[in-house]
Amino acid sequence: MVMVEQKKKRFALFLATSDSDFVKKTYGGYFNVFVSTFGEEGEQWDLFRVIDGDFPDEKDLDKYDGFVISGSPHDAFADADWIVKLCEVCQKLDELKKKVLGICFGHQIITRVKGGKIGRARKGADMGLRRISIAKDNEKLRGHFGGEVPASLAIIKCHQDEVLELPESATVLASSEICEVEMFSIGDHLLCIQGHPEYNKEILFEIVDRVLNMKLMEQEFADKAKSTMNTAQPDRDLWQKLCKTFLKGRSEQV
C-alpha cells in the first residue's frame, strides 16, 4: 500500500505592529500570541513584519491556506508605502480567494481594499472589554460555532478608527452601540473583526499604561478601560472556535 503524506497546512501572519518590550518578554513577541490563539499542532505558521516592509513574494501566496492581518497603531486609510503594499497584496489574496482573517487594523484594511470607507470612529476611541451583538440566523456562523450561535460575545477593543461604510459585498455579523460594524464577512474567504480575539487582560492593561505614559489618553479614560475587566473576561474560547473554523475551512460538528 502506498502511504500518502498529508500536506501540512500553512498560514501567514501579517504583523502590522511592533513588539512591545512587555510582549517580547512575556510571550516572545506578538507572533507567538497569534499562533497560540489560532494555530494548531502540525501546522506551519510564517511571520511577515509588514510594518517593516516584509512581505511574501507574490508567487508564494498560493502556498498558504490562510492569512491573518493584525492590529496596528497606524491608520488603515493612510498611504505609507507599506500600507499601500499591504492593500495590493490583499487585493491579490482576494482574487485568489484565500482565507484572510482581518483583526482591527486588518478589518479596516480589507474594508478599504473591497471599496468600503474607513475613518475616525463616530463615537470616539474605544478601549476595554465590550459585549457585542451577534447576527441571528446566519448559516455561516452556525457552521463555525457548531450549532447555536451566541446572542452576544465579549471581546477586548482597542481602536480609534472604524468602518464607516461597508463594501457592497459584505454581510454584517456583529454590531454594538458603540460601533455599527464589529464583524463582517465577504464570501467564504474574508472574515473581519474590529475587536481583538487574541488579546487578554495583561496585554490590554500594558497597552493602556503605555498609551497613558505617552500622554495620548487621559487618566480617566485609562481607568474606565481597565474597569471594564473588573468582573468580566472576553469569550476567548468561542472567538478561538470561530476564527479557527473559518481559517481552517471547516465547520464544527453540530
Q: Where are the alpha helices (DSSP H) in 28-100?
A: 30-38, 81-95
Least confident of 49-53, 132-136, 248-252: 248-252
Per-residue pLDDT, 146: 83
Q: What is the pLDDT of residues 146-160, one digit of tens each?
A: 888 999 999 999 999
Query: Percent of the chain at pLDDT above 90?
Result: 89
Say whether pLDDT at 210 is over 70: yes
252 pLDDT higher than 80: no
Q: Decide if 189 is catalytic.
A: no
What is the structure's pLDDT at 136? 84
Which of 90, 104, 158, 179 does the annotation list as catalytic? 104
* DSSP reduced 3-state for 132: strand
Bridge partners of 18, per DSSP, are none
Contact yes or no for 76/120 (Cβ under 8 A): no
Q: What is the pTM of this model?
A: 0.94
Residue in 107, 159, 198, 243 annotated catalytic: 198
- Work out the average pLDDT over 30-57: 97
| 196 is an active site residue | yes
Spatial separation of the C-alpha atoms in residues 18 and 82, rounded to whole Å: 14
Q: Is 220 labeled as catalytic in the residue annotation?
A: no
- pLDDT computed for residue 254 by the predictor: 36
Quickly list DSSP for 12-25: EEE--SPPPHHHHH
Q: What is the pLDDT of residues 175-190, one digit of tens each?
A: 999 999 999 999 999 9
Which member of 107, 182, 196, 243 is catalytic? 196
User: 69-98: per-residue pLDDT in tens?
Assistant: 999 999 999 999 999 999 999 999 999 999
Q: What value does the mean pLDDT take over residues 187-195? A: 97
Whether the predicted pLDDT of 219 surpasses 70: yes
Residue 250 has a pLDDT of 63
Summary mean pLDDT of the chain? 94
pLDDT (0 to 100) of residue 212: 93
